[in-house]
Amino acid sequence: MKTMTSRSSSRIATFTGILLVLILAAGCAPKVVPVEGLQISAMMLTNVTASAYDAVPLVWNVRQNTLQSSGTSVLHANNTDGEAVLRWRSGSPLLAVQHWSHKDALPLLTATSKDLKVLVPPVTMRYVSATSDLFARWCALQDDSFVTVPSELHVSSSQKTLDGTAIVIGEHGLEAEAIPVPSSLTHMVTLYGSGSLDNGFVFVEASEANAAKNAADSLWLLRMNHRIVTWVRCGDASAFGGGLYSGQSPSFARVGTLLYFTHSHTKIGCIDTAAAAPLVTLPEAINTLLAKLYSEGPTDAEYPIQAHLASDSDTLVVEYPDVYWNSVYYAVDASGTVLGSLRADKTSIMSSDAKGQQGFTLKTPGSLGYISFPSIDLFESPVS
């Protein structure tokens, strides 16, 4: 920095010094935070066999284009029948949801490190699914308690609509809430849930009795605020093949109040769950990226390839295979700009910056390039 010697420069420096003192005295001085770059957590699955796998944490510094891992497993999964689904949340400690073997009721996930805590959903929460054979659940961030809701509601043989039917939401340690569903609906599916009964939401898809033939299903947001509940219609699923739950399971990722979702070979939608009048939108830049990934992806796919979404550090991650079927994960900001990417193959995981410049390669012999990204709400549906 050049030394200021002029009288005007001296006055500016004096004024700046006085202003800084006033700001400090008022307690409003900005905090100086070391710039470490955008860091996204992930786990690579190692020692993968037909019956088990281990999970090893890694940290992807997107802006610095680096990968870091201790190489030490924090979790072991017994996966004989493919039941050991890894749903976990980043933080300290890491949190994972326990799954149980239907055969012998033994735990499928076992923590191998003090850096990971395995959460066990209470079996007693199943009672809230009395109106459905299956239910959805997620974890309330405040106290790591589980919230459950019927996965699906449908009319009985004696009903024409769901009028008079209630969606029952339960939270561990609190009484269940029976909330009447909107009128003139014939079918309802829980797509996603987040938060608690005091501050949360449920995102659902519903079929309407008065809808035209082959019309797209409607999308609804059930908001919960200090036990006051409100239903808000958010549009329909016309951009998603008319529905989000049939065929392939939809993929979701929450970034702050924004909920992103996609289904089959369709667009990526977004809804601001905190907006006064929430509506489903199709972010243009993100869907331009998705169209590019479609055009550059595999050409020998037997079925439509669905992108998969995840998030961490308030950043959206979009996964889609390259032409060789290697998984590529793109870190995307709210404007749709790609900040960096990871490419995983049978031997390694490689980071690249926004311009495609290779950064760091992490060798992963035996891992087959499997990567798992965190889930903020640990949402899961359907659960039997």
Residues 297-311: tens digit of each pLDDT: 999 988 889 999 999
Give the pLDDT of residue 123: 65
In this predicted structure, what is the pLDDT of residue 18?
A: 36
Q: How confident is the model at residue 86 (pLDDT cuts 50, 70, 90)?
A: very high
Residue 140 lies in a domain: yes
Cβ-based neighbour number of residue 88 at 10 Å: 25
What's the pLDDT at 5?
A: 39
Residue 139 maps to a domain: yes
Q: Is residue 37 part of a domain?
A: no
Beta-bridge partner residues of 340? 331, 353
pLDDT at 6 over 80: no
**Which residue, among 207, 209, 230, 205, has the nearest Cα to 220 in the 3D structure?**
205
For position 265, what pLDDT does the model report?
93
Q: What is the pLDDT of residues 48-74, one digit of tens each?
A: 888 899 999 999 999 999 999 998 999
Q: Is residue 237 domain-resident?
A: yes
Query: What mean pLDDT, rounded, does the chain reach?
Result: 85
Is 173 within the bounds of a domain? yes
Average pLDDT for 123-131: 49
**Whether the Cβ atoms of residue 142 and residue 177 lie closer than 8 Å to each other:** no
pLDDT for 39 equals 96
Highest mean pLDDT among 91-105, 141-155, 234-248, 257-271: 257-271
**Domain range for residue 142?**
123-246
Whether residue 288 is predicted with pLDDT greater than 90 in this model: the reply is: yes
Would the pLDDT of 341 be above 80? yes
- Collect all residues with Cβ–Cβ distance below 8 Å to 304 and sequence separation of at least 6: 248, 264, 265
**Containing H/E element for 20?**
helix 7-25
pLDDT band per the 50, 70, 90 thresholds, residue 134: confident
Band of residue 127 on the pLDDT scale cut at 50, 70, 90: very low
The rounded percent of the chain whose pLDDT value lies above 90 is 62
Pair of tokens at residue 251: 């993929």
How large is the average pLDDT for residues 344-366?
89
Q: Are 156 and 162 in contact (CB under 8 A)?
A: no
| For residue 124, pLDDT beyond 70 | no
Statement: residue 158 has pLDDT above 90: no
Please say if the pLDDT value at position 32 is more than 60: no
Does position 27 have pLDDT exceeding 80, yes or no? Answer: no
Q: Is 283 helix (H, G, I), strand (E, B) or coil?
A: coil
Between 16 and 71, where is the model more confident? Answer: 71
* Per-residue pLDDT at 182 exceeds 80: yes
Sheet of strand 177-180, all strands in order from the earlier edge strand to the far edge? 177-180, 166-171, 145-150, 135-140, 380-383
pLDDT at 1 (0 to 100): 39
Q: What is the DSSP string of 245-295?
A: SSSSPPEEEEETTEEEEE-SSSPEEEEETTSSS---B--HHHHHHHHHHHH
Q: 15 falls in which pLDDT band (50, 70, 90)?
A: very low
pLDDT score recorded for residue 366: 61
| In-domain check, residue 218 | yes
**Residue for token digits 């033994």?**
106
Q: What is the average pLDDT across 359-364? A: 89
Number of CB atoms found within 10 A of residue 292's CB: 12
Higher pLDDT, 164 or 260: 260
User: What is the spatial distance between Cα 305 and Cα 154, in angstroms, rounded to a whole number?
Assistant: 29
Q: Which of 23-37, 93-107, 146-160 has the lowest mean pLDDT?
A: 23-37
What does the pLDDT average to over 313-339? 94
- Look at residue 210 in the predicted model and tell me its pLDDT: 86
Number of domains in the chain: 1
What's the confidence (pLDDT) of residue 36?
61
pLDDT at 337: 93
Tens digits of per-residue pLDDT, 213-252? Answer: 889 999 999 999 987 899 999 999 999 999 998 878 999 9
Residues 6+ apart with CB under 8 A from 121: 97, 98, 137, 146
Q: What is the pLDDT of residue 226?
A: 84
Instruction: Report residue 159's pLDDT band, with 50, 70 and 90 as the boundaries.
Output: confident
Residues 347, 329: Cα–Cα separation, whole Å: 16
pLDDT confidence of residue 365? 66
Task: Quote the pLDDT of residue 383.
Answer: 82
